[in-house]
Amino acid sequence: MQRIGELIASPKGASEAYQEIINDPAIKEAFNQYQNEVNPSLISNYLSDLDEFLRNKEKCRGCSGVNECRQPVKGHYPTLKPVHQQLKVSYTPCQYELNQKHLENIKSFHMPSDILNATFEKFIMDPERAEFYEKATLFINEYMSTKKGKGLYLYGPFGTGKTYMLSAIANILSQRGIVCGLVYFPELIAEIKSGFNSETNGAYDKIEQLKEIEVLMLDDIGSESMTSWMRDEVLGRILNYRMHQGLPTFFSSNLDYQQLQHHYSYTQKGEVEEIKGARILERIKALTTPVQILGTNYRQKR
At residue 211, the pLDDT reads 95
At residue 5, the pLDDT reads 40
Give pLDDT tens digits for 199-231. 556 677 888 999 999 999 999 999 998 888 889
At residue 11, the pLDDT reads 42
Report which residue type is found at 267: T
Low-confidence spans in the chain with pLDDT less than 70: 1-15, 66, 96-103, 196-202, 296-302
Find the farthest-apart pair of alpha carbons in the chain and give their distance in angstroms, rounded. 92
At residue 286, the pLDDT reads 97
* Structural domain boundaries in the chain: 4-94, 104-292
At residue 217, the pLDDT reads 96
Q: Name which CATH class applies to 104-292.
A: alpha beta
b vs e for 163-188, b when ≥16 Cβ sit within 10 Å of the residue's Cβ? bbbbbbbbbbbbbeebbbbbbbbbeb
pTM over 0.95: no
Alpha helices in 25-148 (DSSP H): 25-33, 43-59, 95-103, 130-146
Give pLDDT tens digits for 69-120. 888 888 788 999 999 999 999 988 777 666 666 667 788 888 887 777 788 8
Are 183 and 216 a contacting pair, CB within 8 Å? yes
**Interatomic CA distance for residues 19 and 246, integer angstroms:** 63
